[in-house]
């Protein structure tokens, strides 16, 4: 039998058994519980240390030391006894008191430690994983996920009391305001992450501002104010934070659902993750007397699933950014018309060929190809036909050279190839092949057959040239000489 006293007045009576926790609503301040117990085996009286300023437990007038546990736990004897529990509550709120047989308590303690250890490991692993991926892209948006996961881990570390295994109870880890701060920080970081991940602020600037950004900023601001405001306004601030959190979750659901409907990349994964989390929160509130195991671990499991889904969404987003980055890089160094290197791309590849020559000696050979009287083709047939000719010539050149050679278009009708050879004869063979194919060739295009002539020159470097600029100057000189000879 459990009785609660406040002052000198007996307030309530309860029956405490190992079958269920006893839920009691306590006001802020000091409380005294009187226990009249009948037990045939050793047991443990336990309750959460969260929000408690101090507590003490007496059995038959003798003060009992606390057991090492994440919760406040006291050993009770295997006999009839009377006990007194004194505690001071920091703020008004729920208080769960439980008596368990010793073997049952130890089994639950190990189970809880195993589950939360896996959860913390998962949080920090995912945080590190996404942090590394984000740093490779130098994209700060992914840092929000890592900070979010760390904040989630710290919040549950405080709420579940694992720090109580190593620290005295009064070291601040059980402070309600500190726990609320990390709860608010978690909401804030999760919101900022989702906004940046799905670009919600770009898709719907005003909706994102009023549904997510402003409420999230207010939540984090209020949690900071809790450290300095009077305790009398705590319940008001706490209620505002709770309602704003629900408002933010609803806003996230709405905007991610809308983004998923519009097929925004990874929005469907994010929406499912939020639905899972919301369902767990609703069950936790709607069914307060659900099974102890489910009530305790439902939020763990839902956040674990949500975190994995968000990590999947993040990985998919990073993959998309990588693809877009490679495409942008490819477009930056590729001639859009001919699908060979442009001037910038060719210079980059030429540097690699020169580096190969410096390390292995051999010969670096640069071929210069210039189409003769190409302007007449544009004038007579139009620029569309001229483009077809350029594409055909670029493909012809690519088919004549090695796959490792760099083929580029550095002017309107000017092409350049740089190759590396270990012996001079191979270079001469390629020059002969290019001249044979390009000095006079027939191109099939939309206008029919067009005869194309080209000037082909080359420069052999037995020693690495001073730089790419020297090569390009040689190219201009050689092309100019060939044009004069042709004219």
User: 279-304 pLDDT, tens per residue?
Assistant: 777 766 555 555 555 566 667 777 88
Provide the residue count of the chain.
Answer: 487
Q: How far is CA 85 from CA 165, 250, 258, in A?
A: 21, 42, 53
- Percentage of the chain exceeding pLDDT 70: 90
User: 91-137 pLDDT, tens per residue?
Assistant: 888 888 888 888 888 988 888 888 888 888 888 988 898 888 778 77
CA 231 to CA 99: how far, in whole Å?
Answer: 31
What secondary structure does DSSP assign to 106-132, as a single string?
HHHHHHHHHHHHHHHHHHHHHHHHHHH
Structure tokens at 404: 């490792």
- CATH architecture for segment(s) 343-486: 2-Layer Sandwich (3.30)
Longest C-alpha distance within the chain, in Å?
118
* 437/186: higher pLDDT: 186
Q: In the structure, what pLDDT confidence band is assigned to residue 224 with cuts at 50, 70 and 90?
A: very high
User: 45-104 pLDDT, tens per residue?
Assistant: 998 888 888 899 999 889 999 998 988 999 988 888 888 899 998 888 888 888 888 888
Contacts of 28 (CB under 8 A, 6+ apart): 89, 90, 91, 92, 231
Ordered by start, the domain boundaries in the chain are 2-101, 103-331, 343-486
Q: Which CATH number fits domain 2-101: 3.40.640.10, 2.60.120.380, 3.30.1330.10, 3.30.200.20?
A: 2.60.120.380
Is residue 456 within 8 Å of residue 369, measured between CB atoms? yes
Q: Which of 159, 158, 306, 182 is nearest to 241 (CA)?
A: 182
Structure tokens at 421: 């050879």
Please name every residue paired with 457 in a beta bridge, in sequence order, or none if there are none.
Answer: 368
Amino acid 486: pLDDT: 56
CA 311 to CA 129: how far, in whole Å?
Answer: 9
Burial of 348 (0-12, 13-18, 19+ CB in 10 A): middle
CA 231 to CA 176: how far, in whole Å?
Answer: 11
Is residue 35 within 8 Å of residue 2, measured between CB atoms? yes
What is the CATH code of the structural domain delimited by 103-331? 1.20.1070
Q: In the structure, what pLDDT confidence band is assigned to residue 244 with cuts at 50, 70 and 90?
A: very high
Amino acid 484: pLDDT: 63
Does residue 10 carry a pLDDT above 50? Answer: no
Amino acid 259: pLDDT: 93
SS3 content of the chain, % helix, strand, coil (to 5): 55, 20, 20
pTM above 0.75, yes or no: no
Burial of 75 (0-12, 13-18, 19+ CB in 10 A): middle
Amino acid 12: pLDDT: 61
User: 361-380 pLDDT, tens per residue?
Assistant: 888 888 888 888 888 888 88
Q: In the structure, what pLDDT confidence band is assigned to residue 255 with cuts at 50, 70 and 90?
A: very high
Structure tokens at 152: 């989630």
Q: Which of 159, 180, 155 is nearest to 239 (CA)?
A: 180
């Amino acid at each position: 039998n459990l009785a609660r006293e406040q002052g000198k007045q007996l307030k309530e009576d309860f029956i405490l058994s190992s079958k269920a926790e006893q839920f009691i609503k306590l006001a802020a301040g000091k409380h005294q519980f009187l226990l009249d117990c009948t037990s045939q085996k050793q047991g443990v009286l336990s309750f959460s240390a969260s929000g408690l300023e101090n507590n003490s437990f007496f059995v038959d007038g003798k003060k009992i030391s606390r057991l090492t546990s994440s919760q406040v736990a006291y050993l009770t004897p295997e006999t009839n006894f009377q006990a007194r529990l004194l505690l001071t509550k920091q703020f008004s709120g729920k208080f769960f008191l439980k008596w368990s047989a010793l073997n049952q308590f130890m089994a639950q303690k190990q189970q809880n430690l195993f589950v939360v250890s896996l959860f913390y490991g998962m949080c920090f692993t995912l945080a590190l994983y996404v942090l590394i991926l984000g740093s490779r892209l130098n994209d700060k948006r992914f840092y929000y996920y890592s900070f979010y996961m760390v904040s989630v881990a710290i919040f549950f570390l405080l709420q579940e009391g694992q720090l109580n295994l190593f620290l005295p109870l009064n070291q601040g880890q059980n402070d309600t305001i500190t726990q609320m701060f990390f709860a608010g920080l978690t909401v804030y970081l999760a919101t900022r992450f989702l906004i940046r991940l799905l670009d919600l602020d770009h898709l719907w600037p005003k909706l994102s501002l009023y549904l997510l950004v402003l409420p999230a900023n207010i939540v984090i601001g209020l949690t900071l104010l809790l450290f300095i405001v009077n305790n009398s306004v705590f319940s008001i601030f706490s209620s505002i934070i709770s309602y704003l959190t629900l408002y933010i979750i609803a806003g996230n659901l709405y905007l991610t659902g809308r983004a998923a409907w519009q097929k925004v990349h990874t929005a469907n994964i994010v929406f499912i993750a939020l639905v899972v989390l919301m369902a767990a929160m609703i069950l936790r509130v709607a069914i307060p007397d659900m099974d102890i195991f489910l009530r305790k671990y439902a939020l763990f499991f839902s956040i674990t699933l949500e975190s994995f889904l968000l990590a999947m969404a993040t990985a998919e987003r990073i993959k998309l950014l990588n693809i877009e980055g490679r495409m942008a890089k490819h477009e930056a160094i590729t001639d859009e018309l001919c699908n060979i290197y442009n001037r910038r791309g060719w210079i980059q590849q030429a540097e690699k060929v020169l580096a190969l020559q410096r390390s292995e000696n051999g010969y670096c050979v640069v071929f210069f190809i210039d189409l003769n009287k190409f302007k007449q083709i544009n004038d007579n047939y139009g620029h569309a036909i001229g483009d077809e000719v350029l594409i055909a010539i670029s493909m012809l050149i690519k088919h004549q050279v090695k796959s490792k050679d760099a083929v580029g278009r550095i002017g309107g009708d000017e092409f350049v190839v740089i190759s590396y050879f270990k012996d001079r004869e191979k270079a001469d063979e390629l020059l002969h092949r290019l001249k044979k194919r390009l000095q006079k060739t027939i191109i099939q295009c939309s206008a029919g057959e067009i005869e194309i002539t080209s000037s082909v020159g080359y420069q052999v470097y037995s020693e690495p040239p001073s730089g790419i600029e020297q090569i390009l100057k040689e190219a201009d000189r050689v092309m100019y000489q060939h044009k004069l000879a042709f004219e």
